[in-house]
Amino acid sequence: MHQNRLWRTWRVARTGLYVWALFKIPSWFRKLSGRPTPDLTPTHEKAAYAVLACALDMRGPIIKVCQGIATRSDVFPKAVVEILKQCHDAVPAKDYDGVKELVERELGKPLDAVFSEFDRQALASASLAQVHRARLHDGREVAVKVQYKGLESLIETDLRSVRMACRVYEYFDPQPIALLPLLTEITDHTAMELDFRREADNADRVREIFSDNEGVVVPEIYREWSTGKVLTMEMVQGIKITDADALELAGLDAAQVVQDLMQIFVKMIFAAGFFQADPHPGNLMVRPTGEIIVIDYGLAKELPKGFGMGLFELLFSMMTVNESAMVRAFSELGFRTEDDDKSVFVLIARRMMRRSDTGRFEGEFTEEMTEELFDAIRENPLVDVPTDFVLVGRVFSFLSGIAHTLGHEANVLEAMGART
């Protein structure tokens, strides 16, 4: 990963100039010839591949920002979102010597004074850190998450670079929602994820939420051997939640797994108002005894007071096709239109519900329905879409994808006991 700030600024500027040229030069020719604007999908794809190449070249915080963009299909074109999703799978692990040096510096002890075993090969690597299997001297097997060196010093440089690139994009391809505040929020989340103590707090909070439910497993955090850049936690193992054959071999009912999974996230979102916001299949496992393991609390979200009830009212109004209640629920959740035209909310809800055979919301957050929602948001004059709503929608879209892989439905109303 390049640490030179001048180089990183130049790399983003070069990409921004390329994206500028992709949109601006053809628009000049169209104005001169009077030709209409064509389908911009090929241009979006070229721009996204350029941004992806830039992120993979720079690594570090920029990759995390691109991953954040890939979650916002309500704002960014589909082609951009799909291409930038590749950032999730394209981060190679760092060499062992650098990992060993950072762990020893953070813990203030030689590696072998803390761990009797420490695998040189990483179990997994991501945009900000990688995870190694290890064993404490008392015999406990642990997973050690180690942050990449030098990330904190790059955040401000990369934030300025992202703002510059954002202004270029927003100028030449205006969106219904302002992009700069959105990308600033994504980058702010990235900065928060650099402090592993926050992740430890998130995990402890979710564990407390399910303290009365033995069917949910949250890895224990070993604070004595954790810092802001090193997180030592209980090693948990299970069946990958999308591995239908392995679940069947273990004698587990896939339908029950889906139902239990939905109830876990329904409780976090609607009852506790605090949830793990990144439930992709890599973060979810099932023990052969049926308990569901939820890992990785770097991205967790506390919802505003009353948000869960407002979301329930929106879903219920869509289930009963009560348009006045839909408008009220959208407004209370924080949606805003440019000219205060509340009928836009009904159009968005109808767009979502057209995916249902009955013409009403039946409780299933399908990936297609989520896509319809985000398409409708892009096409209508909204000036404010609550980030909390988008995150929750993304969570249920993930859960729907998992359920579909297992051959079942992810029904939020059924999980809440509100199906009619």
DSSP letter string over 324-378? HHHHHHHHHHT-EETT--THHHHHHHHHHHTTSTTSS--SB--HHHHHHHHHHHH
Rounded CA-CA distance 373/74 in Å is 8
Residue 261, domain member (yes or no): no
pLDDT for the residue numbered 103: 97
Cross-strand bridge partners of residue 234: 142
The residue out of 140, 170, 193 marking a domain boundary is 193
Token readout for 223 is 């604070």
What is the set of active-site residues?
Answer: 278
Give pLDDT, residue 418.
43
Quick check: 285 and 295 in contact, CB under 8 A? Answer: yes
- On whether residue 161 sits in a domain, the answer given is yes
CA–CA distances in Å: residue 288 to residues 38, 180, 239, 247, 336 = 53, 46, 7, 8, 46
Query: Residue 252 falls within a domain, yes or no?
Result: no
374 falls within a domain: yes
> Do 39 and 174 fall into the same domain?
yes
220, HSE (Cβ side, Cα atoms, 13 Å): 8
pLDDT at 419: 40
Residue 356 domain-assigned (yes or no): yes
Is 334 inside any structural domain?
yes
Contact 321, 346 (CB under 8 A): no
Long-range contacts of 334-341 (CB under 8 A, 24+ apart): 334/384, 334/386, 334/388, 334/389, 335/382, 335/384, 335/385, 335/386, 335/389, 336/382, 336/383, 336/384, 337/380, 337/381, 337/382, 337/383, 338/381, 338/382, 338/383, 339/381, 341/381
- List of E strands, 256-310: 274-276, 284-286, 292-294, 300-302
**Adjacent-strand bridge partners of 232:** 144
Clarify whether residues 185 and 322 are in a common domain: no
As a whole number of Å, the CA-based R_g of the chain is 23
Cβ atoms within 10 Å of 321's Cβ, excluding its own: 15
Residues listed for the chain: 420
Residues 393/333, Cβ–Cβ less than 8 Å: no
108's tokens: 């203030």
If asked whether residues 326 and 180 sit together in one domain, one would say no
Per-residue pLDDT at 420:
36
Domain stop point among 193, 224, 253: 193
Residues 178 and 326 in one domain: no
- Sign, Cα dihedral of 11, 13, 14, 20: positive
Rounded CA gap, 123 and 96, in Å? 12
354 in any annotated domain? yes
> Is pTM, for the whole model, over 0.95?
no
Residue at 377 is within a domain: yes
**Comparing C-alpha atoms, which of 95, 149, 140 is closest to residue 117?**
140
The region that residue 126 occupies, defined by phi over 0 for left and psi between -120 and 50 for alpha, beta otherwise, is beta
In the chain, the number of structural domains is 2
Of 193, 215, 250, which closes a domain?
Answer: 193
Sequence letter at residue 123: L
Residue with tokens 């064993």: 135
Same domain, 21 and 167: yes
**Residue ranges in the chain whose pLDDT is less than 70:** 1-3, 71-75, 88-90, 168-185, 187, 351-383, 418-420
Looking at the fold, whether 176 and 311 belong to one and the same domain comes out as no
Residue 357 structural domain: 307-416
Residues 178 and 311 in one domain: no
